Amino acid sequence: MTLEEKVGQIFIICTEQLDTAPAVDGVKSEDKKLTAAMIETLKKYPAGGFIIMRNNIENPEQLKKLTADLKASCRIAPIIAVDEEGGRVARIANHGSFDVPKYESMEAIGDTGDPENAYEAASTIGGYIKEYGFTMDFAPVADINTNPENIVIGNRAFGSEPELVSRMVSAYLDGLHSQGIAGSMKHFPGHGDTQADTHSGYVAVYKTWDELMSAELIPFIDNFGFADSVMVAHITLKNITVDNLPATLSKELITGRLRGELGYNGAVITDALNMGAIHENYSSAESAVLAFEAGNDILLIPYDYREAFDAVLEAVRSGRISEERLNDSVRRILALKNI
């Protein structure tokens, strides 16, 4: 691999980020197909994977062609990911053009108390997303719904009891794996006890590490051995980290706590870096370098992909980030792809 290809591996982007034409009213003209111009951009800015959002989907035939074209355009097989949790976050099931099973919510599945229902749901979801060319599902939600005022997690979580959530998360991962789909537990270290939404801006959590260890962290820790990856939230842990950074940018949390203290050795993915909690406070270049230095392996949807790519590439060339550190992440990513 060239250095540029190695840097590209750490990014999962939206297809329209390859479109160099100016946006009109904030919207890119090409978001449902891969054009020749976008393929040329991809040659200069190779990406390790793509996330398909609702705006990228028109109908089953178009989606199959899009994912096939993305795979064909990459020298190194890409991750093709989607947020298909089941319930209100389901890009395919909630799109009117697709005839696939729908689920009320993961909370409703958790309420049954039977992990077999979580397995069945994930196996079904894994089966139909595989048909459309996906290799990874950004699920399950491993958060515990501990705050009734929570506006972002709520019934996306399996419940409010750590051991129940842990069992459901384990079964859900098994269901995805039964279809050959990789999963991602989210949102470490737990987004369940928040009121604000990191999509919009800064969110602080005031629990101590001991409090998280007794609740929010349990589903993650219990399932580290089964998880393909862990997605980190943008929440700021006011009574845990001294760097006062969002968790995704905190080396203290990711390298020190997640990898060091808790011993997790798998792939670590940021939540989307174009979300308000990051984009409103950091440039794409700054957030990408900080997130990678913190210990993340995959940087999800930087606001400006080319700016983020160039910044990480320059950080490696200058020695700020060692190539061996980059190689460590590339190895984890290739393992995630079964390459």
* List of E strands, 161-217: 182-183, 185-188, 204-205
| Selection from 219, 34, 11 nearest residue 115 by Cα | 219
Of 83, 222, 228, 271, catalytic: 271
Q: Which two tokens stand for residue 101?
A: 């099973």
Structural contact between residues 49 and 12, judged by C-beta atoms closer than 8 angstroms:
yes
Whether residue 140 is preceded by a cis peptide bond, meaning omega within 30 degrees of 0, is: yes
Enumerate the β-bridge partners of residue 268.
Answer: 230
Structural contact between residues 247 and 235, judged by C-beta atoms closer than 8 angstroms:
yes
199 catalytic per annotation: yes
Residue with tokens 């590490």: 209
What letter represents residue 142's amino acid?
A: A
Q: Which two tokens stand for residue 255?
A: 């390298």
Counting DSSP H helices and E strands in the chain, the numbers are 13, 11
187 catalytic per annotation: no
Of 95, 111, 174, 199, catalytic: 199
Catalytic residues: 199, 271
